[in-house]
């Protein structure tokens, strides 16, 4: 291995005592390839088996904790005990590769497709539609429903424990339900769940507390609990860095093992509210202040790009699209073959790279998402 990449392969100890073999995390990537009944498919297992050997920790594609919380076609579920056997197959597949297996859990809220839920009943903190084209007007959740969903996050965590996962990641990013409660765009409530930023944090903090309560009850072993968030929104009103700092300050006081920042580009700058020219990641690292590990992410493809990102002091680095393009990314760097790393897909690569049909079709039909060439 080239010594300039040695930092990548240092062990990382999480607050709960679990040790990761290196600083690289397989980022959660939706693959839209589950069975029609919401169980994990053989194609998904093959996908994970192919690309989880190198990473110290692997975060699965997100699973939904409530029947009306689905976010994508062909998504696997975790809202009932009947899903545990499939989840166990997934956890076993990842762990057999030597990676820690973390199940990402969520409710899609107002981003749930209308056709995917009974009578098109899309729900959200408030009856405010997303600004994404074609978004439905959601129904406002009742206080009782909100409490029930918090419980559902806990039950999904119990199933993750029973399935043998090493942890769960609470998905509070990318505009889904947990972020919808934090955001002034989607949360216009005036009860205990909304209003000031402190009240808008009530739901996400209650989910964290419920997950931790379930972990304490159902396992004596160390179990990873992480939280993912998006630092800003483009909408007006929308999440600002200042409101994200309030979220970070609250999460730092909870029993969490890491914070995972959701960004398309690691070095992206704040949209508003910051005078200097540092990246969002650098501002966030300052705010966390070393209280718990942070996972950075965003358009990291080469070994040099990863090494440069780690120079910010970020303890962990999630690789998403690049581990789809190059499943042996970690192993090639570790064995001094970084020059052999592929950074572009071709249209002939699906079978060779063990990419499920749902994900492959999304890659091919979403211009600009992946670097794509007709041939090498």
Kind plus residue range of the DSSP H or E element containing 317: strand 316-319
CA–CA dist 32, 30 (Å, integer): 6
CA–CA dist 309, 297 (Å, integer): 9
Q: Which of 176, 227, 245, 258 is catalytic?
A: 176
- Ramachandran angles phi, psi of 146, nearest 5°: -60, -45
64, 74 Cβ separation under 8 angstroms: no
How long a stretch of residues is the chain?
376
Active-site residue, 176 included? yes
Q: How many CB atoms lie within 10 A of CB 275?
A: 5
CA–CA dist 147, 21 (Å, integer): 38
Write the CB contacts of 346 (distance below 8 Å, at least 6 apart in sequence). 372, 373, 374, 375, 376
Q: How many CB atoms lie within 10 A of CB 234?
A: 10
Write the CB contacts of 187 (distance below 8 Å, at least 6 apart in sequence). 125, 126, 180, 181, 193, 194, 200
CA–CA dist 201, 180 (Å, integer): 10
CA nearest 99: which of 56, 138, 158?
Answer: 56
CA–CA dist 107, 89 (Å, integer): 22
Q: Which residues are catalytic?
A: 176
């Amino acid at each position: 291995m080239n010594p300039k990449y040695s930092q990548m392969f240092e062990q990382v100890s999480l607050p709960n005592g679990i040790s990761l073999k290196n600083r690289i995390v397989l980022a959660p990537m939706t693959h839209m390839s589950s069975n029609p009944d919401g169980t994990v498919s053989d194609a998904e297992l093959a996908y994970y088996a192919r690309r989880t050997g190198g990473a110290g920790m692997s975060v699965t594609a997100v699973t939904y904790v409530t029947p009306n919380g689905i976010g994508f076609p062909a998504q696997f579920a975790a809202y009932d005990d009947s899903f545990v056997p499939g989840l166990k197959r997934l956890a076993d597949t990842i762990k057999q590769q030597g990676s820690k297996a973390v199940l990402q859990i969520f409710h899609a809220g107002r981003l749930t497709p209308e056709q995917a839920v009974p009578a098109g009943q899309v729900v959200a903190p408030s009856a405010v539609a997303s600004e994404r084209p074609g978004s439905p007007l959601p129904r406002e959740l009742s206080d009782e429903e909100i409490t029930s969903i918090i419980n559902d996050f806990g039950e999904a965590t119990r199933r993750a424990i029973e399935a043998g996962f090493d942890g769960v990641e609470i998905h509070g990013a990318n505009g889904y339900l947990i972020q919808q409660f934090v955001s002034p765009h989607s949360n216009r409530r005036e009860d205990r769940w909304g209003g000031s930023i402190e009240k808008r944090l009530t739901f996400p903090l209650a989910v964290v507390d419920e997950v931790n309560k379930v972990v304490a009850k159902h396992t004596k072993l160390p179990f990873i609990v992480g939280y993912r968030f998006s630092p800003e929104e483009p909408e007006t009103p929308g999440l600002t860095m200042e409101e994200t700092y309030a979220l970070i300050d609250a999460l730092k006081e909870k029993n969490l093992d890491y914070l995972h920042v959701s960004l398309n580009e690691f070095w992206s700058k704040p949209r508003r509210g910051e005078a200097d020219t540092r990246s969002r990641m650098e501002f966030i690292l300052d705010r966390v202040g070393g209280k718990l590990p942070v996972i950075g992410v965003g358009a990291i493809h080469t070994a040099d790009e990863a090494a440069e990102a780690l120079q910010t002091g970020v303890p962990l680095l999630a690789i998403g699209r690049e581990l789809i393009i190059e499943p042996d990314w970690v192993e090639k760097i570790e064995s001094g073959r970084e020059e052999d790393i592929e950074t572009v897909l071709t249209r002939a690569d699906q079978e060779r790279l063990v990419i499920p049909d749902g994900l492959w079709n999304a890659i091919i039909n979403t211009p600009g998402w992946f670097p794509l060439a007709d041939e090498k």
